[in-house]
Amino acid sequence: MSKTVPVTLNVNGVEHHLEVEPRLLLVHALRDNLGLTGTHVGCDTSNCGACTIHMDGRAVKSCTVLAVQADGVALTTIEGLASENELHPLQEAFWNDHGLQCGYCTPGMIMAAAGLLAENPNPTEDEVRHGLEGNLCRCTGYHNIVKAVLDAAKAKGAAVGAPASGQPGVTA
Amino acid sequence: MRPFRFERATDAQQAVALLGDAPDARYLGGGTNLVDLMRLGVETPGTLIDVTRLVGYDRIDEGDDGGLRIGAAVRNSDLAADPRVRERYPVLAEAVLHGASGQLRNLATVGGNLLQRTRCAYFTDVTKPCNKRALGTGCPAREGRHHNHAIFGHSEHCVATHPSDMAVALAALGATVHALGPAGARTIPIPGFYRLPEDAPHRDTLLEPGELITAVELGPPPGRQTRQRYRKVRERRSFAFALASVAAVLDLESSGTVSDVRIALGGVAHMPWRATRAEVALRGAPVTPERATEAAQAELEYAQPLRDNSYKVELAHNLIAATLMELAA
Ligand SMILES: Cc1cc2nc3c(=O)[nH]c(=O)nc-3n(C[C@H](O)[C@H](O)[C@H](O)COP(=O)(O)OP(=O)(O)OC[C@H]3O[C@@H](n4cnc5c(N)ncnc54)[C@H](O)[C@@H]3O)c2cc1C
Ligand code: SF4
Ligand code: FES
Ligand code: FES
């Protein structure tokens, strides 16, 4: 057995002090140690994106990150996205646009989309498709997911009065 | 995953010293490749030394000549988004954005990207022999599945390719790797940083055990007349490794004559492959469709495809010719 080490996981604004084995993956720390089961595991090989969360505001796949790598870093999971009584615009849009069927990919999809919109608040359809390339969905054929992200961008833009033309996308 | 010890270094000297004390230790960047390989049992380090928080190594600094020194812990996303990189070395930003997905680029570091291991399916399957994973056990890919393997520079011991898109652009730009080891600091130019498999495929690069990559340096930016482009062909439109790719940097005189050109190919060899024969064929006259084709031919003539990957010869040929024509247009 290897020794455990202390880590501080700062998840959705709450600090958790844990003793973990270095080999514990962040996704398991979130799900098993902290009971935050909204983050899913779909593939375990960094392919499907179901485990997407934010580290320091940026989308990452938590199935290939060790919990110790996240020590002291601000983490956001799907549970931390909505404010008190209100769904996040992306959650609202996925609901309205039928952006999900079985829902397995949805938390990761929404977290990846939130990361995308943070960088590029007014993406084109192509930029959304490219930006979500790391997330797989077996059910929807992606059409409604892309629509939901575009609608959420519009809703967000209206809410915060963002300019109609966003920054140029960083897709290549 | 096998248990291991975890250390975090805050300066480079300390990281090197920590590794010196534990020979079965590995440096840990974003972990997007290493943690995966540990889960598969391909890598079984006794200690991981996290080098993503080395103070000062997550910065891109500008030299007096306009060149850039990119710290090894800079994340791939930050590299691709840096305005200086996008303006002066667009081929590098393009190459990085053609690799992996946003979530992976947000974690992956420059040092880790350079040292990512091959995607050969035998290498990642510990139930199979593989010289790169266990020297002396053989290379099943030579006669087995090698659809996506090398057409240049392979040996009877290994036919794998290097998977990095970023490294291909760095090879075309003539970047230099800075390393720090127990014996001190040194610099190694890319692509010479990488090696051909020969009879030692377990070594991907010239780095000695324990050496830490500290930075990648880009020389003064190419002049205004320089045109740059990265193109990648994969089995689907996004989120896949290259079957073949090309990074090209073309300097034209006002008359259209090629004063200098650098071309590197990805997905075709154990290292980013500088197409020096094509470069020689292009210098000194304008790019025409005929000359672009001849240049591609001059390089691909020397390809040694395996049983099932001769499609890459034509693919690389067309990639070179099409990219040159696009740049010269
Ligand atoms: C699903 C998937 C798809 C991908 N697609 C692509 C693609 O299309 N194109 C592409 O180019 N890449 C692709 N990648 C690979 C990705 O780019 C690499 O995993 C990533 O760049 C590695 O960086 P890292 O910092 O996470 O490295 P790590 O995993 O942390 O480390 C990789 C290696 O580098 C060593 N290392 C790390 N930092 C240093 C240092 N400073 N000095 C010395 N040694 C060091 C480690 O010991 C390890 O051996 C893909 C990966 C995945 C999982
Ligand atoms: S090609 Fe190289 S990595 Fe693949 S099985 Fe052969 S020795 Fe191993
Ligand atoms: S579970 Fe992490 S990418 Fe599939
Ligand atoms: S809704 Fe079922 S996997 Fe996406």
Q: Does B42 touch chain A (CB under 8 A)?
A: no
Tally of structural domains, chain A = 2
- Is the CB of B230 less than 8 angstroms away from the CB of A172? yes
- Looking at the domain assignment, is residue A169 inside a domain? no
b or e along B297-315 (b: 16 or more beta carbons within 10 Å of the residue's beta carbon)? ebbbeebebbeebeebbeb
Ligand 2 neighbour B139 (Cβ under 6 A): yes
Strands A5-11, A74-76: pairing kind: parallel
Out of A29, A46, A80, a domain closes at A80
**Inter-residue long-range contacts of B81-84, CB under 8 Å, 24+ positions, other chains counted:** B81/A170, B84/B60
Q: Are both A24 and A72 inside the same structural domain?
A: yes
Do residues B56 and B71 lie in contact, with contact meaning Cβ atoms separated by under 8 Å? yes
- Is the CB of B103 less than 8 angstroms away from the CB of A21? no
Q: Are both A60 and A95 inside the same structural domain?
A: no
Average pLDDT per 10 consecutive residues for chain A, totaling 172 residues: 88 97 98 97 91 96 97 97 89 95 96 95 95 94 96 78 33 28
pLDDT tens string B99-139 = 999 999 999 999 999 999 999 999 999 999 999 999 999 99
Q: What percent of chain B has pLDDT over 70?
A: 99
C-alpha distances (whole Å) from B237 to each of A145, A172, B232, B242, B314 are 18, 12, 10, 11, 19
Q: Does A85 touch chain B (CB under 8 A)?
A: no
Radius of gyration of chain B (CA): 20
Residue of B nearest to A136 (CA): B239
Mutate to test the pocket of ligand 1, among B24, B33, B212, B236 (most ligand atoms within 8 A of CB): B33
Q: Does B228 touch chain A (CB under 8 A)?
A: no
Which residue of A4, A20, A41, A46 is the best one to mutate when testing the B interface, meaning the one whose CB has the most B CBs within 10 A? A46
Do residues B182 and B137 lie in contact, with contact meaning Cβ atoms separated by under 8 Å? no
Q: Are both A97 and A126 inside the same structural domain?
A: yes
Ligand nearest to the CA of A94: 4
C-alpha distances (whole Å) from B95 to each of A172, B80, B169, B241 are 8, 9, 6, 12
- Looking at the domain assignment, is residue A146 inside a domain? yes
Taking the CB of residue B286, how many other CB atoms lie within 10 A of it?
A: 13
Please, where in chain B does CATH 3.30.390.50 lie?
A: 226-328
* Alpha helices (H) in chain B, listed in sequence order: 12-21, 34-39, 76-81, 83-88, 90-97, 102-107, 110-114, 166-173, 276-282, 289-300, 311-328
The CATH number assigned to the domain holding A59 equals 3.10.20.30
Q: Does A42 touch chain B (CB under 8 A)?
A: no
pTM listed for this prediction: 0.94
Out of A62, A80, A98, a domain closes at A80
> What pLDDT was estimated at residue A44?
80
C-alpha distances (whole Å) from A157 to each of A47, A58, A160, B31 are 31, 20, 5, 35
Ligand 1 neighbour B100 (Cβ under 6 A): yes
- Looking at the domain assignment, is residue A168 inside a domain? no
Ligand nearest to the CA of B117: 1
How many angstroms does the Cα of residue B255 sit away from the middle of ligand 1?
A: 42
Nearest protein Cα to ligand 2, atom 2:
B158
pLDDT tens string B75-97 = 999 999 999 999 999 999 999 99
Judged on CB neighbours under 10 Å (0-12, 13-18, 19+), B200 is: middle
Round to whole Å and give the CA distance between A106 and A136.
Answer: 10
- Looking at the domain assignment, is residue A170 inside a domain? no
pLDDT mean over B257-267: 96
- Looking at the domain assignment, is residue A22 inside a domain? yes
Q: Are both A16 and A74 inside the same structural domain?
A: yes
Which residue of B101, B124, B235 is the best one to mutate when testing the A interface, meaning the one whose CB has the most A CBs within 10 A? B101
Q: Are both A71 and A9 inside the same structural domain?
A: yes
pLDDT tens string B187-220 = 999 989 999 999 999 999 999 999 999 999 999 9
Q: Are both A13 and A72 inside the same structural domain?
A: yes
- Looking at the domain assignment, is residue A76 inside a domain? yes
Of B4, B101, B102, the CB nearest to A23: B4
ipTM entry: 0.92
Ligand 2 neighbour B144 (Cβ under 6 A): no
Q: Does A162 touch chain B (CB under 8 A)?
A: no
CATH, domain range B226-328: 3.30.390.50
Do residues B192 and B180 lie in contact, with contact meaning Cβ atoms separated by under 8 Å? no
> Closest Cα to residue B34, out of B130, B116, B128?
B116
Taking the CB of residue B44, how many other CB atoms lie within 10 A of it?
A: 14
Out of A80, A108, A138, a domain closes at A80
Measured between beta carbons, the chain A residues lying within 8 angstroms of B28 are 69
pLDDT band at B59 (very low <50, low <70, confident <90, very high): very high
Please, where in chain B does CATH 3.30.43.10 lie?
A: 1-50
Nearest protein Cα to ligand 1, atom 31:
B112
Closest-CA distance of chain B to residue A23, Å? 6
Q: Give the range of the structural domain holding residue A48, as residue numbers without chain letter.
A: 5-80
Do residues B299 and B282 lie in contact, with contact meaning Cβ atoms separated by under 8 Å? no
- Looking at the domain assignment, is residue A75 inside a domain? yes
- Is the CB of B104 less than 8 angstroms away from the CB of A133? no
CATH, domain range B1-50: 3.30.43.10
Q: Does A69 touch chain B (CB under 8 A)?
A: yes
Q: Atom of ligand 3 at shortest distance to CA of B103?
A: 3
- Looking at the domain assignment, is residue A29 inside a domain? yes
Only one residue has tokens 């996981």, namely A9
Non-local (6+) Cβ contacts of B239 within 8 A are A133, A134, B100, B101
The CATH number assigned to the domain holding A151 equals 1.10.150.120
pLDDT tens string A131-166 = 999 999 999 999 999 999 999 999 877 554 333 333
